[in-house]
Amino acid sequence: MKRNNRNAWMRNGWMAIALAAPLLIAGPVRAENPDQVLQLRSTGACAQCDLQGANLQGAHLIGVDLRDANLRGANLQGANLEGADLTGADLTAANLAGAFATNASFEDANLTNANLANITMYHAETAGATLRGINLAGAEITGSNLSVGSD
């Protein structure tokens, strides 16, 4: 009887491992809405869109409307965000390294743990933005209430 219990446990144990294995080896989660990524790229208007984890590396997003958009973990590395409206957007852990964000609005945006290394940001609006844990290494920022070093 003990042997039957042991065999049943082994069968069930292996089944649990087999079912869980794909979760353990799965690639990165992609949560963005593909239709909304297409909408952003084609119209430049995507207020309140779900672009979490979207790959927008090097994208030309000049003057886009991303108010209140979910851009958590999005890759905006090297993107041109000149004049973009990101008011109230969630950019938690987003990668904006090397992005160009002159005259962009980040008012009331959440930039917690965002990577802003080497960003070019002239006259950007950042009033009310959450800026905890951001990386500003090599950033070029002027004419904004966000500063690098001391003036």
Calculate the average pLDDT of the chain: 85
| C-alpha span between 136 and 121 (Å, rounded) | 11
Q: Which two tokens stand for residue 112?
A: 């917690």
At 146 the pLDDT is 72
User: Which pTM does this prediction carry?
Assistant: 0.77
Q: For 45-104, what is each residue's pLDDT tens digit? A: 999 999 999 999 999 999 999 999 999 999 999 999 999 999 999 999 999 999 999 999
Q: Where are the domains of the chain?
A: 30-151
Q: For 102-113, what is each residue's pLDDT tens digit? A: 999 999 999 999
Superfamily of domain 30-151, CATH level 4: E3 ubiquitin-protein ligase SopA (2.160.20.80)
DSSP per-residue letters across 23-83: HHH--------HHHHHHHHHHSB-TT-B-TT-B-TT-B-TT-B-TT-B-TT-B-TT-B-TT
Q: Which two tokens stand for residue 144?
A: 């904004």
